[in-house]
A and B are shown apart, each in its own frame.
Chain A
Amino acid sequence: MNSPSTQYVTPRRLGIYEPIHQMSTWVENFKSNGNPNTSAPIIVESEDTSHGSQGPFCKYEQEASKPFDKIQRRLAQNREAARKSRLRKKAYVQQLETSRLKLVQLEQELDRARQQGLYVGSGVEGVHMGFSGTVNSAFEMEYGHWLEEQSRQICELRNALQAHIGDVELRILVDAGMSHYFELFRMKTTAAKADVFYVMSGMWKTPAERFFFWIGGFRPSELLKVLVPQLEPLTEQQLIDVCNLRQSCQQAEDALSQGMDKLQQTLAETVAAGQLAEVGYNPRTGTAMDKLEALVSFVSQADHLRQETLQQMSRILTTRQAARGLLALGEYFLRLRALSSLWANRPREPT
């Protein structure tokens, strides 16, 4: 691009804020011309001489054929973008620094706790002390395997239903699916006996799943609400049976929930009265430790309710419906877990 006329460049902040591509354009042109274009001297009137990195050449020679305002606007936008980029980087670095400090703090706390031989909270592989911690990390690993197997079974069910395989083979898949859930309940019983608070906390599940938590797992009546619409059409008798099951389930849940409330209340009373363990034992109300033991039975009963609900549904439905039901259930939990990931990775404004 040769500019035959003289260009006056009004003062702006040039130099260090110039975008790279304009430089390279100039460089290309310089190479192709062999000499810088000297036929049109450029007069640069710059009041601001503090930006020392401004080079002797002026890029506007190349842009002379373009509208002047457009160039200025683009330059301003680039400057703004560069400024924002620097701010974001600064914020990010600050975040990293804070996190690093936090990490150091946590490591120190961990060391202190280890030295005192206390149980350190779960969720991190290999950083456990004490019996409970060991069992919980074992449970989390087992649960990880359980989830993998669950995914595999869901895929198998989906393919089987699409391929319209026979009832006999489908039954095998359904039975496997049911057994798989029962296996989870067994795992939970073991974990609950070691650390009932851990199982009840739901820390081994994703946040969205935890939102729906009821005594250590999913609510059976919710399960029915999710499943039934996916199973239609149902016969008259099936509808009646499902309706009855839903009602019994709800009643059983209510009873257990009220029992839990009572447990909370009496636990609060024993703690307030200072009856934590055998010292100051009141045989009528029991100790706080006794109450915590009772929690284990509640989790056990809740799991039993889940198991019974699944079994009853399996009894009410045909093999094909049961397969569809298991698929729907598996996909529902998969989506909940996906939702948790989506939420965790949602874009956040830089602070």
Chain B
Amino acid sequence: MDKVTRLASEKGVVIFSKSSCCLCYAVNILFQELGVHPMVYEIDQDPEGKEMEKALMRMGCNAPVPAVFISGQLVGSTNEVMSLHLSGNLIPLLKPYQPFS
């Protein structure tokens, strides 16, 4: 879906979320801890939310939210983010988006 792809490329780190989803909140917290400020898009507040949900599922997400995109590429859901982080492969992806420290 164009809208999803477009939004996903709008910023370095994009999280598609739902306002009632606490797991999405947890993923956002993780990124904040790593010094990144993702763009969080609440699809339940978008009139086209249902289509976006379907599009995300089609792209390969088990659960529509949270869906994490880094540099416009789909990284996955909570599972994938956690696996990447524990294997030390998440931070390298975030390097360009971490403010110089």
Chain A residues within 8 Å of B, Cβ to Cβ? 241, 244-245, 248-249, 251-252, 254-256, 258-260, 262-263, 266, 283-286, 290-291, 294, 297-298, 301, 304-305, 308-309, 312
CB distance from B60 to the nearest CB of A (A): 17
Contact A244 B82 (CB under 8 A): no
Chain B residue, CB-CB nearest to A250:
B33
Contact across chains for A258 and B88 when beta carbons are under 8 A apart: no
**Is there an interface contact between B20 and A266, defined as CB atoms closer than 8 Å?**
yes
**Which one of A252, A262, A263, A286 contacts B82 once the chains associate, using CB atoms below 8 Å?**
A252
Residues of B that sit less than 8 Å from A by CB: 19-23, 25-27, 29-30, 33-34, 44, 63, 78-79, 82-83, 85-88, 90
8 closest cross-chain pairs (CB), A and B: A259-B26, A255-B30, A286-B20, A263-B22, A255-B29, A308-B86, A255-B26, A262-B22
Consensus secondary structure, chain B interface: helix
Q: How far is the CB of B42 from chain A (nearest CB, A)?
A: 10
CB-based nearest A residue for B88: A244
Interface centre among A259, A262, A266 (most CB of B within 10 A): A259
Asked whether, in the complex, the Cβ of A249 is within 8 Å of the Cβ of B20, the reply is no
- A-B contacts, 20 listed (Cβ < 8 Å): A248-B86, A248-B90, A254-B30, A255-B26, A255-B29, A259-B22, A262-B25, A263-B22, A266-B20, A266-B22, A291-B20, A297-B23, A298-B23, A301-B78, A304-B79, A304-B83, A305-B86, A308-B82, A308-B87, A309-B86
Taking the closest CB of chain B, its distance from the CB of A127, in whole angstroms, is 35
Instruction: Select the residue from A241, A248, A294, A309 with max chain B CB neighbours within 10 A.
Output: A248
